Structures are given as C-alpha cells and as structure tokens.
Structure 1
Amino acid sequence: MSSRKSDRLRGRGLSLTLPSLILLVVVFLASMETIGEFSFHEFVPNGDNIVGSLHSWRNFLTDPATWRVVGETLAVATTVTLVLAVVGYLTAYALFSIRRTVGRNLGLFIVFSSLMFSGIASVYAWQLLLGRAGMINSALGVLGLGPFDLLYSRIAVVIALVHTLLPIMVFPIFNTLGQIDGALTEVADDLGASRWRTFSRVTLPLSAPGLLAGCQLVFAISISAFAAPALLGGGRVQVLSTTVYSLVNVSNFPVASVASLVLLIVALLSVGVFGLIQRRLPRSDSGGVTATPPKPAGVRLLGGWLGLVYVFQLITAFIVIVSSFSSVSYGQWPPPGFSLRWYTNLAEQDGVLAATASSLIVAAAVTVLAVVIGIMAAVGLTRHRLPAGPLINAAILSPTVVPKVAFGFAVFMLVYRLGLEPGRVALVLTHLVACIPFVVVIVSAGLLRADRTVEDAAVDLGAHRVRAFLSTTLPQIRPSVAVGALFAFLVSFNELDLSLFLLNADTKTLPVWMFNYLNNYQDPTPAALSTIMGLTSVVVALVAVPFVVRRGRGTAPAGQALGLPGGR
C-alpha cells in the first residue's frame, strides 16, 4: 500500500512538471536542434540548399574576422564582469550596512530600478548622455574640456551594461552577506583583528559564493547582449550577437546558425569555468546565523559611495524624461526649451498603438501562463520526491544558460522550418520558456518556507488536493507568486533580444518598434516612448507591492477555511 501511494505521489509530481517539460521539448529543444541542423546546410547562389555540408562551419571558423568578433565579445563581457565585481560588491556591502529597513529598501529599489526601465530605453539614455552635445560633454565643457567622442566605442557599451546589470551582481552578494554569522566578526574583533583583516579573512571569503554567482550571471548576460553593442557600438564594436543579427538580415541562415552555436558554446564554457572556480572555494562550517553582524566600519564613506551609485542608476531615467519634453530634434543638453511635440509625434507614428497593444497582450499572456505552469512545476519539484527530480529541475532551468539572441533566432528557424509565420504565438511561447525558470525558482523558495500541515489537514477533512492547495498554501506563498508574476511581466514587456526575429512587419512590440526607430531617426520621440514604458513598469510594480509585503497574519483552521463539515 505504501509502495502504491509512493508511486501515486511520484506520478502526481511528474504530471505537475509535465506542462513545463512539454514546452521545453516543443519550443526549446526543437529550436536548438533546428539551428544545429541548419548549421550543416549550405545556400549556394543558384538557390540550391546543400544538406550535410561543413562549408558554413569552415567559412566561419577560418575567417580571421570571426576570431576578432569572439575576442571583442569576450573583452566586453570580461570588462563588464570585472568592473561590476568591484562596484557591485561595494554597493551590496554599503546597502547591507544600512540598519533602517526603510533606508535599505529604498536603496534596493533605486539600485534595482534599471531592471524596471526598458533595456532599449537605457541604451537610448546613454546615447543622449555620451553624445558630443550630451550632458557629460556639456559638463566637461564648463571645465574647458572636450568635447570627447564617447559614443560608438567599447567604453560606451561597457558603461551601459554596467548600469543595466548592477542589480544582477548586487542581489546574490547582498543575500550572501545576510547569511554570514555575525558572531564570527565579533570574535575576530575580540581577538584584536584589524577591520581590514576581519573583512579580508572573514567577510570576503564567506561572501565569495555570492560574488562568484553574480560574476557568472553578469558574464553570461554580457556575452549575449545585443542592444548596447548594436546602438552604442556604432558598428565599431562587433560582437557575436550583432553578427547573428547581421547574418539573418542577409538571409544567411546557415552561417547565422553557426554563429549562434558558437555563442552558445562560449556560454557553456563560461558556466564550466565558473563551476570549477566554485568547487575550489572554501566552504563555511558555520551552522547558521547566531548574531546580527555589526555595522561595517567606514559607514560615511559607504554612504558617499551609495550616493554616487544612486545618481548613476537614476540618471538615465532623469535624462530620458527631461529629453522627452525637449523643444529641439537633437540631443542637446540642457534642452533650449520644453514642448510636448514628441509625445504628439509619438501618437502620430504608424504602428506604435499596435505595438503597445501587442506588448501588453504578450506580456499579460506570458505572465498568466508562466505563473500557472511555474507554480505547477515548483510544487512537483518541492513536494514530491521524483526519481529524476534534479535532472528535471536542471532541464527546466536550462534556457537561462542559452544566450537570448541565439534562442530567439533558433525559434525563428524552427518556425521557418515548419513553414509557419512569425507572430504573437511564437513570441509568447519563446518568452514563456525564458520566464518559467525564474518563476519556478522564486515560487520554490516560497514553498520551502510554507507550512504544509494545514493543506494536509484540509485533505484529511475531505477537500480535494487542488482546492486544499488554493485555499491554504497559495495564500502563504502569495508574495513569491507576486514577485514571479512581476518579473515575468517586466521581462516580457521590455524584452528585445528574444523578440527581434519573431515578429513580422505587421506585428511588433514596443522595444522592437523603438529599436527600428532608433536605427532610422535621432529625434526625442523614443524618449517619450521610454518615459511611458518606464511609468508603466513602475505602475505594475506598485500594484504588485501590496501582494509582496502583505503576508498572511495566520491561517484559519483547514476545515473553516474550506467551509467543510467539521471545520471550526
């Protein structure tokens, strides 16, 4: 009987993960297999398609320009990672030093604000900041310096990526600092260790896993970044993601497939390298946090550092908002006058309303589906001992390793292979595969903290398992569900890299529409659009806040909550 019950529970857990696994196979694995196959095709001038040829691989790998592109990709990613390792650690440490909850939460909100601001909008802001008539050169002009050519260089790309990815570095470090036992630093102080020695021998080694996790995430995202190199590099910063885009534009699908796979190989190699480094890190023998860490020394300096970080994170939003009201059609700073003409111009643009509707529809669909499928998968993985649980979990999370440009192109090739037209369905499925892993991780963390006894009691009183979960467990994990839903909406609404190849001429999202506009015009109309998109993201985040911070004050007895006979 026990064996049957165990088998039944395993079957239930597997059925809960089935939707995410089906989506993984149908969209993710099928698309990656498609570009793998197309990489061995050869398109010849007479229109023939030669299958089983190494021509595309040979041409791509033997071209000296290819290795310059790979070198530039690695150089950009490495520079961004090294800069953020320093900037991100100092920022996380400074935020952790804030003892007042309100001040710490406000600081975290400011640092994480770049994630709510569309990536393409941030890139546009840096165009305005770094231009010859932009804010930075104008400020330097007051000092009798410049103007300098800051745009269309590697440094411009690095600055933009550092701004966007700072929260990705800060979060794991901040989380790890909170797990360090404060008693260890107190003991070091009691034994006469200097502040630097305590930091270098206790705090830094114990927080190294968080730093390494941040570096791995930042490096993986940087090697596949597209918008910053495409718009701020000005053709001078050629990386693998922009190479894929250029090859697709000339319909050289076999070589584009090869470039995508090379980008994927670089990403997988970086995962392996970081994995080896992680294994060499010393492990803590601490049994938990027994004391709150003392406030770090040098708080005044840390406060000054945070002030600079806050300005750095908020300046793009400030520049975009002010520029959206400029009276002139070029990026002059400060604007000579103010006007609403660019909002009017935005409303008159062909396709912008359709792009708005498309973005909202796709983001809403992705949010609902990602939350439902993500909750099911999280329950299956955390509440049931599946024989292949770790393997299933790794499979569900695997899309996070694949560069987004490569994945978006792979889905495009799958659609092309099936003879279908790109559109919203393909876009929703692609965004869904990218968002589900994060929802699963966030909701799983909530489920591990939830009290399951109430749900079990409800089932014992005769409630169906689904009803018991919805009435008892779901309210407990509501903050995690809200965070997952917010993340899915913001990622889908602001996504550019995954969407580039999956929309036809009649169907665009706002980031794609804005990218195309920036490639053709230089007026502040994108600033008006960026302001509206940023405000939309802030409104959505504010709507989600009550669901995140309003935790359950207690759960009614199972029978009473479900209205079952015998419940008091």
Structure 2
Amino acid sequence: MTATERLMSGLITVLAGLAVIFMLTPLVVTVLVSFGSASVFTLPPPEWSLRWYERLATLRGLVPAVVTSVQIAALSTVIALVLGTLCAIGLTRSSVRGSEAIISFLISPLMLPGLVIGIALLQFFREFGLRDAWISLLLAHVVITLPYVARTVIGALSLFDFTLIDAARTLGHSYPAAIRKVLVPVLAPAFMTSGMFAFLASMDNYPISIFFSDAWTKTLPIQMLQYVEERPDPTIAAISTCLILLATLAMIVGDRLVGIRRMAQF
C-alpha cells in the first residue's frame, strides 16, 4: 500500500468515525436526559433518577397509542410481506414489459417526502369515501412498508437459482413442498430483514400518520407530539429511549437469526 493509499484510508476512517459520532450523539443525549431528575432538558442532569420512566405508567393516552401503533405496524408488515413477495416473484419470474418501471413505482414511496404521500393518500381516500381513521392508517402504512419488502425480496430472488425448485420436484416433491423446502429457507433472511425495517418504519412514522389520526385513533408518534405541546418535559425522552431500545433489540434479534453481514446484503 502506497503512502497516498494509506492517507486516503486513514481519511476515510476518520470521516466515517465523525459521521457515526454525528448520528449517534442525539441518541446518546436523549438517553442521558431521560435518566435525569430535572423537569427540563438538562445535560448533565443534577442527579440521576427514574422518575420519568415511572411517570410512563400513569401517562394519559400512552397505552392506547402504543397498542394502536403495534397493531398497525404488525398488520401492515404482514400485508406488505405477502404483497411484496407476490410482486417480487411476479416481476422476477415473468418477462413483464416495463418491469423496471414497475419496480421503481413500488419503491417510489421511499423517494418521496412523507407529507406529499400523506396529502395524496388523504385526497385519494376522500374520493372513495373512506373516513375510518384506523383503516386509513393501515392502508397508508402498507404503502410505506411495501417498498422495504419489495426491494429486499426482489434483490434476494434475483440471486436465487429457480432450477433448484425443478430439481426438487424431480426428486419427488410437489410444487408447494419444493417451494417450502428450497425457496422459503433462502428467502427467510430477506423476510426477516424487510419485516424488521418495515415494522420499525411503521412504528416511527409521523408525516403520514398525522393526516389520518383523530381524537380516538392516534399512533405513538402523534401522541408524543401532543405530549411535547402540552408539557415539554423529559417524559418524551423516556419514550424515545424505549423506542431506541426496541430498534436495538430488533437489530440484536436479526443478528442472532440472520447475521448483520447477511442482512446488509439485501
């Protein structure tokens, strides 16, 4: 390795380290503030305390918001896994004209601002007379979770040799059995990866959910915004820390079941 290459390698390492520090600093500050005793956001805190986590048990509207978010996230992820897998198989196994355009359309919600998608979906639902907040939230979250599944499963299927299914059938397996024994194990990491990111994206979504929430149906991010408006104390930091813990646990489970390196391939 030449001196120039060593210099560039060191420079890249330093820049990557600074980028990591820049991205993680707000999370670290949030966690530290949540364990403080002060009634305002103070760092370092005057003393350590669990008062804000204890307050979560009596916080008005928190449990219904969490239940609604988990229900919407889980159901929209399941629907997105089914629809995304069917779309991926159809696009990779058939010679559909304009398949690249269809794939771009499927992942387009990832490239558009959430407010734009929210306004468009709100107008679309109004045209069809859909007024139910829960159903509207579910359909909107399917739209934003589907791209994660479609992009990941299409990438996994593009690397799969479908002749293995034919080989399994020649060995006596039926077509469903061949799919179950050959294709499903190969796609399991893609399902795990896309499902995890889809669930977290749904749980954390704010710009689209705000258009479909009402006084009785609120997701957790919308309820957190209300808390900030009513009483901006470190309780919001405690809730945010719980969400950070949820994402961390999801990454740990994914690493144990699939592996971080393999998840990063999709």
The bucket for the TM-score relative to the shorter chain is: 0.7 to 0.9
Counterpart check, 1:481 vs 2:194: no
Q: Hey, what does 1:82 align to over in structure 2?
A: none
**Quick one: distance in 1 between partners of 2:169 and 2:139?**
35
**Quick one: distance in 1 between partners of 2:221 and 2:261?**
35
Change (3 A) 1:541 1:423: farther
- The structure with more radius of gyration: 1
Change (3 A) 1:458 1:303: closer
**Quick one: distance in 2 between partners of 1:481 and 1:474?**
9
Aligned length: 262
Q: Hey, what does 2:88 align to over in structure 1?
A: 378
Q: Hey, what does 2:120 align to over in structure 1?
A: 410
Match of 2:202 among 474, 487, 492: 492
Listed one character per residue, the Cα deviations across residues 148-204 of structure 1 (whole Å, up to 9, x for unaligned) are xxxxxxxxxxxxxxxxxxxxxxxxxxxxxxxxxxxxxx9xx8xxxx94xxxxxxxxx
**Quick one: distance in 1 between partners of 2:229 and 2:85?**
40
Contact 1:412/1:422 (8 A) holds in 2:
no
CA RMSD of aligned residues (A): 2.5
Q: Hey, what does 1:297 align to over in structure 2?
A: 7
The higher-RCO structure (CA 8 Å, 6+ apart) is 2
Q: Hey, what does 1:308 align to over in structure 2?
A: 18
Counterpart check, 1:432 vs 2:130: no
**Quick one: distance in 2 between partners of 1:460 and 1:371?**
29
Cα displacement (A) at 1:298? 4.1
TM-score (norm. length: structure 1): 0.43
Cα displacement (A) at 1:303? 3.6
Contact 1:476/1:551 (8 A) holds in 2:
no
Counterpart check, 1:348 vs 2:83: no
**Quick one: distance in 2 between partners of 1:431 and 1:419?**
18
Q: How does 1:130-279 map to 2 (within 5 A)?
A: 195=4
Amino acid at match of 2:199: F
Contact 2:144/2:202 (8 A) holds in 1:
no
Amino acid at match of 1:532: C
Amino acid at match of 1:471: K
Instruction: State the identity as a percent.
Output: 33
Change (3 A) 1:550 1:469: farther
Change (3 A) 1:420 1:452: closer
Q: How does 1:19-30 map to 2 (within 5 A)?
A: none
**Quick one: distance in 2 between partners of 1:484 and 1:314?**
23
Cα displacement (A) at 1:420? 3.6
1:297 aligned counterpart, secondary structure = helix
Q: Hey, what does 1:223 align to over in structure 2?
A: none
Change (3 A) 1:298 1:437: closer
Counterpart check, 1:532 vs 2:265: no
Amino acid at match of 1:486: M
Amino acid at match of 2:55: N
Amino acid at match of 1:521: R
Q: How does 1:550-565 map to 2 (within 5 A)?
A: none
Counterpart check, 1:545 vs 2:244: no
**Quick one: distance in 1 between partners of 2:9 and 2:98?**
48
Q: Hey, what does 2:180 align to over in structure 1?
A: 470
**Quick one: distance in 1 between partners of 2:9 and 2:29?**
30
Amino acid at match of 2:119: F
Amino acid at match of 1:500: I
Contact 1:422/1:504 (8 A) holds in 2:
no
Listed one character per residue, the Cα deviations across residues 341-384 of structure 1 (whole Å, up to 9, x for unaligned) are 21122221111011111111111112211112111111111122
Q: Hey, what does 2:36 align to over in structure 1?
A: 326
Change (3 A) 1:300 1:369: same
Change (3 A) 1:457 1:428: same
**Quick one: distance in 2 between partners of 1:390 and 1:316?**
38
Match of 1:450 among 150, 157, 160: 160
Listed one character per residue, the Cα deviations across residues 95-148 of structure 1 (whole Å, up to 9, x for unaligned) are xxxxxxxxxxxxxxxxxxxxxxxxxxxxxxxxxxxxxxxxxxxxxxxxxxxxxx
Unaligned runs of 5+ in 1: 1-185, 196-294, 553-568
Unaligned runs of 5+ in 2: none
Change (3 A) 1:418 1:448: closer
Change (3 A) 1:551 1:399: closer
Contact 1:479/1:550 (8 A) holds in 2:
no
1:332 aligned counterpart, secondary structure = coil
Counterpart check, 1:521 vs 2:243: no
Contact 2:254/2:260 (8 A) holds in 1:
no
**Quick one: distance in 2 between partners of 1:533 and 1:349?**
16
Contact 2:33/2:45 (8 A) holds in 1:
yes
Cα displacement (A) at 1:400? 3.5
Listed one character per residue, the Cα deviations across residues 444-497 of structure 1 (whole Å, up to 9, x for unaligned) are 111121232221122344544343222201212222222111111111111111
Change (3 A) 1:450 1:418: closer
Q: Hey, what does 1:504 align to over in structure 2?
A: 214
Contact 1:375/1:439 (8 A) holds in 2:
yes
2:209 aligned counterpart, secondary structure = coil
**Quick one: distance in 2 between partners of 1:547 and 1:467?**
23
2:7 aligned counterpart, secondary structure = coil
TM-score (norm. length: structure 2): 0.88
Amino acid at match of 2:125: V
**Quick one: distance in 1 between partners of 2:6 and 2:71?**
47
**Quick one: distance in 2 between partners of 1:371 and 1:452?**
20
**Quick one: distance in 2 between partners of 1:394 and 1:299?**
35
**Quick one: distance in 1 between partners of 2:86 and 2:261?**
21
**Quick one: distance in 2 between partners of 1:488 and 1:498?**
15
Change (3 A) 1:299 1:457: closer
Q: How does 1:361-400 map to 2 (within 5 A)?
A: 361-400=71-110
Q: Hey, what does 1:423 align to over in structure 2?
A: 133
Change (3 A) 1:373 1:354: same
**Quick one: distance in 1 between partners of 2:6 and 2:159?**
30
2:210 aligned counterpart, secondary structure = coil
